[in-house]
């Protein structure tokens, strides 16, 4: 037990410029292999992860990755028993794949034959098979021949020990996933969006699900080496979840997810190569998380900022319409277009300061002009707009009273909220509906029609 240290001791030794250039230009064989391998993985995982996310099976992939551990151990033992070293990546990955499939089948079996639901089924398979894997790993380490020391690396990833053939395997998988995604894009989209419709149209939902989960299993299995099984699911879903904040179409989402995954892989491998004692897998995942947060906040399609901006501009529009309507109503009470601030304040019981601020904004828009320090005047443009706004508001009031049974005392407030989302076609309909029919008893009389 050591004492006398603090967080600041865990300092980062920053790499020198030379080192950076070496890594970035992929001069090192090792770096080259790792970087290219994880870039391929990131792209493949982003692609198939999009469909996994849309199919709402994210955590099944987590169970899948944990279930591969016994497969790896058994594959090792089999290979050693057959006289080998037990190090062949392909052999280990085949074992992983087989057990991944077993895991999925077990989840389905539990779900279909017991009262337990998805979450419990996934949790059971995940933990029990992982426990089995740990037991088998411990046993494998006692094998007389072969060396099982590298096997534990599949749990947290051991990207640093990748060789060219491994990177080739990953590139191969990426190509397969790319081709499959292109060919089956519309089928998988349909499956994820509307399962029942696709079954009626004649697509075999079972077959498509098998294809999807097989591709997920394959990508998970190759991810084991770089990010390890605990974090494999991150590569599948985080880039895809991030992509959703940038686009509203499937094809763009697929491309965005692939790019984000690829980029995270590249950056993670680079950082890991430059900074000592920085494990590759976790840093890649951390970077994915970073992109997710960026997308969550800044994403152009439904990101937090965009939504806030839309809400803010809506509020601005509402405020603008409020002031115009208030001014209109004030002007109705006298015959001209001149009014004083105090009249508006009295009508609406707003703060004088608020009214003045809104009036200044209306001046900027050209709806209102200042005649003297105390009087203001509506412009022609302002009159037209104000009349339109006031009319919308009153039509809604009438509609709400007559058709939605809202009490007259409450109508003003609701009309306030609804009127701003009226489109022109709906207003037209309302006018035909109400003005032609019984003449309304609006709490506020309708001004000169126009």
Partner 1 sequence: MPQTRIEEEHSLTSPVSVHDLTVAYHRKPVLWDVDLDIPEGKLIAIIGPNGAGKSTLIKAIMDIIPKVSGRVMIYGKPFKKQRKIVAYIPQRESVDWDFPIDALGVVMMGRYGTVGWCRPLRRRDKEKALDALDRVGMADYANRQISQLSGGQQQRIFLARALSQESTIYFMDEPFASVDAATERAIVQVLADLRSNGKTVIVVHHDLQTVNEYFDHVILLNMRVVAHGPVESVFTQENLKKTYGGRLTLLSEAADRLARQGTKL
Partner 2 sequence: MNWTTIDTWIVFMGAMCAASCAIPGTVLVLRRMSLMGDAISHTVLPGIAVAFLITGSRDPAAMLIGAVVVGLLTAFLVQTIQSLGKVEVGASMGIVFTVLFAFGLILMRRAVDHVDIDPDCVLYGAIELAWFDQVHIAGMGVPRGFVVNGVMLISNIVLILVFYKEFKITSFDPSLAKTQGIRPSIMHYLLMTMTAVTAVAAFETVGSILVVAMFIVPAATAYLISDKYGVLMCLSVAIAIIAAALGHLGAITIPLWFGFSGTSTAGSMAVAAGFLFVVAWIGSPKYGLLTRAVHRIELRVRILREDVLGVLWRLEERKQVAIQSMQLATAIGANPLMMRFVLLRLVNQGRIAKFGKCWLLTDQGRSFATTLVRTHRLWEVYLDKHFPQDQHQLHHSASRLEHVTTESMQSALGDARTDPHGSIVPENEDV
Residue 220 near residue 30, CB atoms below 8 Å = no
Query: Is there binding between residue 247 and partner 1 (CB under 8 A)?
Result: yes
Cα–Cα distance measured from residue 277 to residue 106, given in angstroms and rounded to the nearest whole number: 38
* 395 near partner 1, rule: CB under 8 A: no
Question: Residue from 24, 54, 168, 406 that binds partner 1 (CB under 8 A)?
Answer: 54
Q: Applying CB under 8 A, does 189 fall inside the site for partner 1?
A: yes
Using the rule CB under 8 A, is 6 a contact of partner 2?
Answer: yes
Tell which residue, 62, 63, 59, 49, has the closest CA to residue 242. Answer: 49
The helix-helix angle for 29-54 and 228-243 (nearest 10°) equals: 60
Q: How far is the CB of 189 from partner 1 (least distance, A)?
A: 7
250 binds, among partner 1, partner 2, none (CB under 5 to 8 A by kind): partner 1
Does position 241 interact with partner 2 (CB under 8 A)? The reply is yes
Q: Does residue 142 touch partner 2 according to CB under 8 A?
A: yes
For residue 55, the minimal CB distance to partner 2 (Å) is 10
The closest of 64, 80, 73 to 95, measured between CA atoms, is: 73
Residue closer to partner 1 (CB basis): 17 or 200: 200
The reply on whether position 74 binds partner 2 by CB under 8 A is: no
If binding is defined by CB under 8 A, does position 311 make contact with partner 2? no
Q: How far is the CB of 181 from partner 1 (least distance, A)?
A: 11
Answer with the entry of partner 2, partner 1, none that 132 interacts with (C-beta below 5 to 8 A by kind). Answer: partner 2
Partner from partner 2, partner 1, none contacting 193, C-beta within 5 to 8 A by type: partner 1
Question: Could you say whether residue 403 binds partner 1 (CB under 8 A)?
Answer: no
- Shortest Cβ distance from residue 10 to partner 2 (Å)? 5
Output the CA torsion sign for 381, 386, 387, 388: positive
Number of Cβ within 10 Å of residue 274's Cβ equals 18
Kindly state the tokens that stand for 96. 């992983």
Q: Report the 3 state secondary structure along 333-380.
A: HCCCCEEEHHHHHHHHCCCHHHHHHHHHHHHHHCCEEECCCCEEEECH
Is residue 253 a contact point for partner 1 (CB under 8 A)?
yes
Q: Which residue among 281, 355, 385, 399 contacts partner 2 (CB under 8 A)?
A: 281
| Distance separating alpha carbons of residues 228 and 223, to the nearest angstrom | 6
Does position 195 interact with partner 2 (CB under 8 A)? The reply is no
Site for partner 1 in 4-43 (CB under 8 A): none
Which range in 284-292, 330-338, 346-354, 420-428 contacts partner 2 by CB under 8 A? 284-292
Q: Give the distance, in angstroms, between the CA of residue 379 and the centroid of all CA atoms in the same chain.
A: 47
Alpha helices (H) along 82-117: 89-113
Contact present, 48 and 236 (Cβ < 8 Å): yes
Task: Rule CB under 8 A: choose which of 23, 73, 190, 237 binds partner 1.
Answer: 190
C-beta of 301: minimal distance to partner 2 in Å?
Answer: 11
Sign, Cα dihedral of 42, 43, 44, 48: positive
CB of 308 to partner 1, least distance (A): 17
CA angle 414, 416, 420 (to 5 degrees): 115
For the chain, the helix, strand and coil percentages under 3-state DSSP, each to the nearest 5: 75, 0, 25
Among positions 35, 283, 389, 415, the unique one binding partner 2 when judged by CB under 8 A: 283
Q: Are 343 and 330 in contact (CB under 8 A)?
A: yes
| Of residues 236 and 430, the one with the C-beta less far from partner 2 | 236
Q: Which residues bind to partner 1, rule: CB under 8 A?
A: 54, 183-184, 186-187, 189-190, 192-194, 196-197, 199-203, 244, 247-250, 253
């Amino acid at each position: 037990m050591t004492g006398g240290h603090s967080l600041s001791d865990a300092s980062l030794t920053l790499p020198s410029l030379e080192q950076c250039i070496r890594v970035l230009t992929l001069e090192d064989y090792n770096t080259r292999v790792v970087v290219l391998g994880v870039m391929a993985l990131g792209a493949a995982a982003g692609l198939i992860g999009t469909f996994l996310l849309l199919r709402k099976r994210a955590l099944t992939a987590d169970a899948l990755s944990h279930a591969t551990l016994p497969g790896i151990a058994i594959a090792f033992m089999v290979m050693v028993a057959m006289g080998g070293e037990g190090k062949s990546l392909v052999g280990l990955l085949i074992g992983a794949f087989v057990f991944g499939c077993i895991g999925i089948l077990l989840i389905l079996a539990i779900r279909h034959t017991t009262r337990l639901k998805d979450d419990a089924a996934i949790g059971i398979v995940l933990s029990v098979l992982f426990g089995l894997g740990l037991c088998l790993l411990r046993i494998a380490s006692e094998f007389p021949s072969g060396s099982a020391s590298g096997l534990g690396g599949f749990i947290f990833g051991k990207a640093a020990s990748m060789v060219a053939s491994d990177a080739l395997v990953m590139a191969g998988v990426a190509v397969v996933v790319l081709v499959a995604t292109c060919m089956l894009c519309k089928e998988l989209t349909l499956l994820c969006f509307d399962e029942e419709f696709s079954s009626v149209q004649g697509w075999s939902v079972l077959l498509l699900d098998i294809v999807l989960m097989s591709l997920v299993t394959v990508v998970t299995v190759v991810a084991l080496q770089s990010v390890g099984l605990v974090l494999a699911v991150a590569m599948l879903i985080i880039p895809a979840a991030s992509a959703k904040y940038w686009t509203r179409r499937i094809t763009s989402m697929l491309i965005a997810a692939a790019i984000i995954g690829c980029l995270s892989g590249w950056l993670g491998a680079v950082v890991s190569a430059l900074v000592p004692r920085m494990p590759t897998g976790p840093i890649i995942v951390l970077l994915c998380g970073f992109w997710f947060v960026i997308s969550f906040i800044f994403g152009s399609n439904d990101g937090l900022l965009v939504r806030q901006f839309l809400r803010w501009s809506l509020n601005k529009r509402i405020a603008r319409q409020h002031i115009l309507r208030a001014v209109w109503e004030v002007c109705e009470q006298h015959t001209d277009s001149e009014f004083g601030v105090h009249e508006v304040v009295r009508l609406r019981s707003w703060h004088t300061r608020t009214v003045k601020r809104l009036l200044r904004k209306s001046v900027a828009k050209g709806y209102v002009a200042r005649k003297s320090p105390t009087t203001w005047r509506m412009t022609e443009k302002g009159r037209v707009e104000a009349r339109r706004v006031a009319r919308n508001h009153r039509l809604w009031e009438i509609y709400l009273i007559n058709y939605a049974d809202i009490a007259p005392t409450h109508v003003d407030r609701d009309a306030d909220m609804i009127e701003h989302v009226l489109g022109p076609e709906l207003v037209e309909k309302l006018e035909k509906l109400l003005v032609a029919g019984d003449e309304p008893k609006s709490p506020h009389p309708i001004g000169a029609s126009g």
